[in-house]
Structure 1
Amino acid sequence: MKLALVCLASLLVAGQTLGAPGKCGRQPPAKQGRPNFVVILTDDQDQLMNSLDYQPYVKRHLIDEGTSFSKYYTTSATCCPSRVSMWVGQFAHNHNVTDENRPHGSYYKFQAGHLDNNWLPLWLQEEGYSNNYIGKFINGVDKSNTAAPKGWEHFEPLVSPGIYNFSNPIFSLNGGPIESFPGVYQTDLILNKSLARIDAVAQKKDTPFLLVISPTAPHDEIQEDGTFTPPVPAERHRHLFPDAQVPRTPNFNPAVQDKVGWMRDLPLLSALQVEEIDHHYRQRLRALQATDELVDSVVKRLKDRDLLDNTYLIYTTDNGYHLGQHRLFAGKQTPMENDINIPFIIRGPGIGKKLVKSNPATHSHFPATVLDLAGIKRPATLDATSLFDPAHTESFNVEFWNNQFTEGGSTVRHKQNSYKALRLISQKHNLYYSVWCTHEHEFYDMKADPHQLSNKYSTTDQRVLDRLDALVTVLHDCKADVCKFPWQSIHKDGQVKSLDDALEAKYDAFYRALPKFRFKSCKVYYDADNEGAE
C-alpha cells in the first residue's frame, strides 16, 4: 500500500497521470490497508456561475488540499441518468435510465433493470468495504418504494415528498419505517447523520468504508402542487450576499441568439425576469452555505477519528445549472456547457495539492477511479477509464431524450429536445458538435468561442465535420472499450488515435464516404432503432 501511494503521489504532484495496469501504483494493496472514500454529492450545482467561490470551507479543505478537474462532465444533464452513470460507470444509452420519472426513469426503472447487480457499491462490498449512503439518491424513492439496493450496509435516502423540501425532510433506513423531521433543516440533519456514521465506521479500524453524503442543495424546492421555487437557505444564512448576481457573461441573455430548435425562438428575458434570476442565484448560494459547513465538520470529524490521512474526499454534483444563459430562465437538460460541465474535486493519499487538471472526464469515469485508488480490478463493463489513467479518450458523447423542463417561475416544457452531442478536448482542440432529433446541427470551437455564441456549423470545413460525424456515429451506442477508444473502432489498424491523426489528407475520401448519424424522429425515450447511421 505504501509503495502504491508513494508512486501515485510522485506522479500527481508532478502533474502527470497514473501508469498503465501493472505499473507503479496499480498493485492491489492488502484489504486492511485499503483507503476510505467520502463522497459529498450536491444536487444541480453549477461550475460556471462561480458558486464554488462562495464556499470557503470547500476551498480550504478540498481545492487547496487536492486536485480539481476543470473539464469534468455529466453526459446526461438531469438527475437520475447522471447519478446512475456515476455509480454503474456507463453512459445512459447503456443503463437506459433516461428520465426522472417512470416509465423511462426513476428508482423504479433502476430496480426493473436490476442495475444494482453490477455497480460500484456492490464491487466495493465484495472486497470488504462497508458502504453507507445518506441523503438524496434518485427520484422514485417514495413511501411505497424504500427498499435498499444491493451493496449498502447503511442506506438512508431522502424519501418523496421530502426529497426537495428543505424544512421537512423524510428518511427511511434500509427500507424500514418512514421518519419525518418537520421543522429541521435538511442539510443540518444530513450532517448529523453523517457524523454519526463516521463515528460508527471509526469503530472498525480494519474495515475500509465508502460514505456518500448527498444534500439536495442547491436544487430548487418543489411544492406540494409540483411547482418549483428557489431553494431555501438555513435561517442563519438567509441574509447573505445581498448584492450577488448571476455572472454577466456574454451568453447571459444575449441580444443575438443562434441556437437550434426551441432554443432559437426563446425571447429576451425581461428586466423583471432578470431580477428573479438574480434572486434565484442568491438563494442557491445561501442554500450552499450549510453544505459548506458540512464539509468543514466532516473533515474535522474524520481528523478527530484518525481517518483523514487514509481517506479520499470527493466533492461533485449530478449535473450543472443555468440561469439566464442563452435566454433560458432556469434549469438544465441541454448540452450547453453550463448544464454539463460540473465540479469535481478530490483530496487524499497521494493526490497533488492546489492542482487543476484539464483532461476530459465524465461521471462514467467515477467507478474506475475509485476502484483504481482502492486497488481493485475494474470490471469489463465500464465505459470509461480512471481519471488518472493516461489512456483516456479525448472525446465523449452527451445525450438526452426528452422535452426540456424549465424550472422556477412558470414551468414550461420545450419539445424536441433529444440530441447527441460530442465534446472533444485535447491540448490542441476544444470542440462541441451536436446532432438534434430535428436534423439540426451545432458546431462551436470552444477555444475561440467559450460561451457558445456563434454556431459555425454552416461555415466549418467539411473535412472536420466528417470526422466529428464519424465519432458521433461510433459513440452514440458505444459500449465499454469502444467508448474508451472510439478512434480504434474507426481505424482497426490503430494508426489513428486522435482528431489530429484523423485529419491527415489521406483519410479524406474515407471519412467523406462514411454514413452520418441521424435520428429518425424526436422521441422522449431511448429507442435504439430510432437513431444510427444513415
Structure 2
Amino acid sequence: MLTDKRPWLMAMLLVVLGAGGYVALDRSGVVDGVDGGSDGPVGITIPEEPTTRGSDEPMTTRVSVENSGTRVSVAVHTGERPWSEKLAVTLNGERIVLRRGEPAPDGSCRPEVRAVRSSLLTRLTYDRACVPDRDDETSARSGTVRASVRVDGGERVRARAALSERPNVVMIMVDDMRTDELRWMPNVRKLIGKQGVTFTNGFSGFPLCCPARASVLSGQLPHNHGVWSHQPPWGFSSFEDASTFPVWLQQSGYTTTYLGKYLNGYGREPRPGNNTGTSTQYVPPGWDRWLGSVDGGMPPGHPDDGGTYRFYDTTLNDNGFGYLPLQGEYQSRAYARLTGETLEELSGQDDPFFSYVSFTAPHHGGPRESDDPEGIVTPARPKSLWGAFDDVITEAPGADWDDPDRSDKPKILRRDLSEATLRKVLAATRQRAEALTVVDESVGRIIGTLRRTGELDDTMVLFTSDNGYFQGEQGRPQGKILPYEPSLRVPVLMRGPGIPRDEVRTDPFLSVDYASTFADLADVDPTTSVDGRSLLDVARLGDESDGDTWSRVVLTETQPTRAVQAATAAVDPVGSQTDDMLLAKISGLRTGRYLYTEHQPEPGDAKPGILVELYDVLEDPEQYDNLAIDPEYADLVDELSGVLAKARTCVGSECTEQLLPANLR
C-alpha cells in the first residue's frame, strides 16, 4: 500500500489519464475496467480534496444566448444584485427596455419575460419568427444571434450564438449515494465537475427510491404524483407515466433510451392502473430503446429470472421483445458496456438523443458475500476490490455523531449505536466505496465513448443520485427517508454546451427540477403541470440568489402515518390520493439556514413525544440542538409552519413561485 503525507499529490501516482479519455486507477491502485482475474484485494489511495473545490460564479454580469429549437432566448445574470431600474436588451439590433415595476412592453413579437424581483437571473424568450434579421449577410446566412445587454445603465455586455442543433443529454443516476461519497469517484469529479458545475445543495425532497424517481420523471412533488412508497399499493403501479419528460422529449424529436433500475416494483407489479398481471414486458411511454431491469414477475424456474438487486444476475426487458439476461456479468460493468454500445449506435444520427443510465450501486444487493457484516446490508462488488478501502476508510461517517442530549428529539431519533454496530457500518461504508469505484470507472468509459464518437462537445452530461443515506448519523446505522442532511442531500454535477468549467452553485437543485431542466434544454413545453424549475440558466450563468442561502421553498415529505397507509391500501390496491395522504408523517422545510419539520403521531399514541423540530444547520450542522422547544424561537416556528402549510398542498406554479419570506433567506 503506497502512502504519502500529501494525499492530493500521492493521488497522481495512482490516478492516471486512461487512453480512452477517462481517469483509470492503476492496477497498483484499483482495477482499470476489467477484473483481470485477480482474486486478491487491491489497495487504493484517494486524494483528500473537498468535493466542491470549484470556484463560485464571478460577481459580474453574464449573458447567454440560446439559439436552437423553435425559440431564441437571452438569459442575463446581473452579478452582485438584481437589476433595480431598467434592463436594456438588444437582440440582432432590436432593443427592448424592461423597467422595474412596469409590465413588459406589448406587441405581437415582444418576448416572454421571466424576471423575479429577488432573482439575479432574467430570461427573455422570443419566438424564432420574431427574431429580426441582421443587415450583415454573413450573420443572416449563419443564423447567428447577437445580444447586447445593459443593466441599470451600466456597461454593455455582449454575447452571440450561432444557430445550432439541440444538445444530446446523458443522465447518469446512482442509487442511495451520499454527497461525501464523491471522494471515491475521481472520474465524476474530474470529467464532469471540473469540466462543468457542481450543485452543492442537491436535495431529494422525499429521500426514498420510488417517490424520488417518480419526481425526477414527472417534475411533480409526491403529493401531486401520488407515489408514496416503494411498496404496494404504491410504487411502480401507482405512477401515472403518460406525461413524463421522456414523453415530451420524444415527441419533440429526441431519440430516447433507458437502461437499468426504474421504479420499485417494476416487473413483479401490474402495469400502471392495472390490478393484475406483471410488467416484465412493459415499456413505459416515451422511450425508443428500453432496457429496464426487472425485479421479479417471472414464473418459478424461468431461465431468464434475474433481479435489479442481483449484481451478478440481472435481467433486462429488451424493449418489450423478450429479455436480455446479464447472468455472470457484474451489473455496473455490464451497464457501462451496454451504454457504450448504445452511444455508438446513436452517434452521428440527425436527431439529438437522451440516454438515461440508472445504476443500482451503491444500493445493497446480492449475492451475499463472505465478508458481509451480519445485520447490515451492503452491495455486492467484484472480488478484486474486496478490502481495497480498508486502509483509506478508517471509520464510518457517523462514527463521531454524538448528540449529548436527545430529550429534545422525536422518539425515532433517540437510539444509540453500539461500537459493534458502528464497526459493521464501517464495513458497509467500505463496501459502498468499492461498488462506487466500478460506477466511477463506468462513468469514465461513458465519457470516453462520447469523446471518441465526437459527441462529447454537443452533449449535456448530468450525474446524480435518487437520495442520500445514513451511515451512523442521527443514531441511524443505515437507511434514508428521514429529512436530515445525510438522507436529503444528493450529488448533482453537470457539464455540457454553455456550462462553464469548474464552478459551484449553491442554489438548490431538487428532484422535481430535472424534468423542467431537460424540457428547457430541448425547447419543449411540459404537457402537464410541473412543480419544478429549470436550472439551466443557473448552471450556465450563476445562482439566482446572492449569497449561499436562497429564496426558494424546499419541501421535504415522507409517507403518511401507518394508519393512513393501511386504510388507503384496504380501499385501493394500486394506491390512491386522498386528503389524508397529503399529510406526510414527517414534512418539513429546508432553507439555506434552517431545517424545520412537523411530525404526525400515529392515532392512539398517548405519548407522541417531540413533534416539531427546528435546527440551525449553519451553526449546528450535526443537528443536535432542537430550537423548536426554545420559547425564543416561537415566532420563527409559527412563520415556518405557515410556509409549510402552503407548500405541502401546492400544485404547479404555486410550488415554483412560492418564495420564502425575506427574513428566512
TM-score bracket, normalised by the shorter chain, equals: 0.7 to 0.9
Structure with more of its chain in helix, by fraction: 1
Matched, 1:252 2:363: no
Q: 1:182 to 1:19 in 2, by over 3 A?
A: same
Asked if 1:499 is matched to 2:648, the reply is: no
> Secondary structure at 1:33's aligned position in 2?
coil
The normalised TM-score by structure 1 is 0.80
Cα distance, 1:171 vs structure 2: 1.0
CA change 1:246–1:21 in 2 (3 A) is farther
Q: Following superposition of structure 1 onto structure 2, how do residues 159-178 of structure 1 map, counting pairs within 5 Å?
A: 159-161=294-296, 162-178=307-323
- 2:324 alignment partner in structure 1: 179
1:480 matched to 2:652? The reply is yes
Stretches of structure 1 lacking an aligned partner (at least 5 in a row): 405-415, 488-497, 504-534
Per-residue CA distance 1:451-496 (angstroms, 9 max, x = gap)? 1111110114322122111111101111011111225xxxxxxxxx
Q: In 2 relative to 1, CA 309–142 (structure 1 residues): closer, same or farther, beyond 3 Å? A: same
Moved more, 19-28 or 372-381: 19-28
State how 1:26-41 maps to structure 2 within 5 Å: 33-41=165-173
- Equivalence for 2:421: 273
- Deviation string for 1:377-430 (max 9, x for gaps)? 3456111211236498521210011579xxxxxxxxxxx9821111122xxxx1
Partner residue, 1:423: 590
State the shift of 1:32 in Å: 7.3
Q: Which 10-residue stretch deviates more, 181-190 or 88-97?
A: 181-190
Quote the residue 1:453 is aligned against: 624
Per-residue CA deviations over 1:141-194 (Å, capped at 9, x if unaligned) read 225312011000011011114101111111111223233322210001111110
Amino acid at match of 1:433: Y
Amino acid at match of 1:169: T
Q: Measured at CA, do residues 420 and 63 of structure 1 come closer, stay the same or move farther in structure 2, by a change above 3 Å?
A: same
Which runs of structure 2 are paired with 1:334-373 in the superposition (5 Å)?
Answer: 334-373=482-521
Q: Are residues 1:44 and 2:44 paired?
A: no
The 5 A counterparts of 1:374-385 are 374-379=522-527, 381-385=529-533
Corresponding position of 1:69: 199
Partner residue of 2:264?
139
* Residue in 2 that maps onto 1:518: none
State the alpha-carbon separation in 1 of the partners of residues 654 and 252 from structure 2. 28
Cα drift, residue 308 of structure 1:
0.4
Assess, with a 3 A threshold, how the Cα gap between structure 1 residues 235 and 10 changes in structure 2: closer, same or farther: farther
Distance in 2, matches of 1:87 and 1:17, equals 28
Compared with structure 1, are the counterparts of its residues 124 and 263 closer, same or farther at alpha carbon in structure 2 (3 Å cutoff)?
A: same
Q: 1:56 to 1:477 in 2, by over 3 A?
A: same
Compare 313-322 and 390-399 and name the one that shifted more. Answer: 390-399
Aligned pair in 2 of structure 1 residues 419, 39: CA closer, same or farther (>3 Å)? same
Is contact 1:13-1:353 (8 Å) kept?
no
2:66 corresponds in structure 1 to 4
| Residue 157 (str. 1) matches residue 283 (str. 2) | no
Which of 392, 396, 399 is the equivalent residue of 2:554? 396
8 Å contact kept, 2:67–2:162: no
Q: Do the aligned partners of 1:360 and 1:395 also contact (CA within 8 Å) in 2?
A: no
Contact preservation (8 Å) 2:557, 2:584: no
Structure 1 residue aligned with 2:435: 287
Contact 1:251 1:451 in 2 (8 A): no
- The structural deviation recorded for 1:9 is 11
Pairing 1:188–2:333 present: yes
Which of 204, 211, 225 in structure 2 is aligned with 1:81? 211
Q: Please state how far the C-alpha of 1:285 moved relative to its aligned partner.
A: 0.2
Which whole-Å CA distance do the structure 1 matches of 2:496 and 2:358 have between them?
20
1:442, distance to aligned residue in structure 2 (A): 0.1
What is the SS of the residue equivalent to 2:490?
coil
- 2:554 alignment partner, SS class: strand
Question: CA offsets per residue over residues 94-144 of structure 1, 9 Å max, x none?
Answer: 0000100110x221112xxxx222110000011000110001111112253
1:462 is matched with: 634
% identical aligned pairs? 25
Shift of 1:376: 2.4
Deviation at 1:501, TM superposition (A): 5.7
For 2:658, the aligned partner's letter is P
Rounded to whole Å, the distance in 1 between the matches of 2:517 and 2:446 is 22
CA distance in 1, matches of 2:231, 2:387: 35
**Which amino acid letter does the alignment assign opposite residue 153 of structure 1?**
D
Determine whether 1:209 maps to 2:379.
Answer: no
Q: What is the Cα deviation at residue 499 of structure 1?
A: 2.1
Q: 1:14 to 1:59 in 2, by over 3 A?
A: farther
1:307 alignment partner, one of 441, 455, 466: 455
Q: Is 1:68–1:344's contact at 8 Å kept on the other side of the alignment?
A: yes
**Is the partner of 1:420 in helix, strand or coil?**
strand
Query: Which one of 8, 11, 20 corresponds to residue 123 of structure 2?
Result: 20
Q: Secondary structure at the match of 1:366?
A: helix
* Change in 2 beyond 3 A, CA 1:263/1:23: farther
SS where residue 248 of structure 2 aligns? helix
1:449–1:46: structure 2 CA closer, same or farther, 3 Å change rule? same
Alpha carbon RMSD of aligned pairs, Å?
A: 3.2
TM-score scaled by structure 2?
A: 0.65
Q: Shift in Å at residue 238 of structure 1?
A: 2.0
How many pairs were matched up? 466
Distance across 2 between alignment mates of 1:137 and 1:369: 20
* TM-fit CA distance, 1:30: 11
Q: For 1:357-388, what per-residue CA distance to the aligned partner results, in whole angstroms no more than 9, with x for missing partners? A: 11122111111111222222345611121123
Q: Distance in 2 between matches of 1:345 and 1:261?
A: 34
CA separation of 1:194/1:203 partners in 2, compared to 1, >3 Å: closer, same or farther? same
- Kindly state the Cα deviation for residue 234 of structure 1 after the two structures are TM-superposed: 1.8
Measure how far apart 1:200 and its partner are. Answer: 1.1
With over 3 angstroms needed to count, the CA separation of the structure-2 counterparts of 1:140 and 1:153, relative to structure 1, is: same
- Which of 229, 243, 246 is the aligned partner of 1:118? 243
SS in 1 for 2:256: strand
Letter in 2 for 1:419: I
Q: Measure the CA separation in 2 of the matches of 1:89 and 1:10.
A: 22
Measured in 2, the distance between the counterparts of 1:23 and 1:253 equals: 55
Deviation at 1:436, TM superposition (A): 0.4
The answer to whether residue 413 in structure 2 is matched with residue 264 in structure 1 is yes
C-alpha deviation, 1:502, in angstroms: 8.1
Q: Which deviates more from structure 2 when the two are superposed, residues 269-278 or residues 369-378?
A: 369-378
Contact 2:399 2:472 in 1 (8 A): no
Pairing 1:95–2:220 present: no
Aligned to 2:271: none
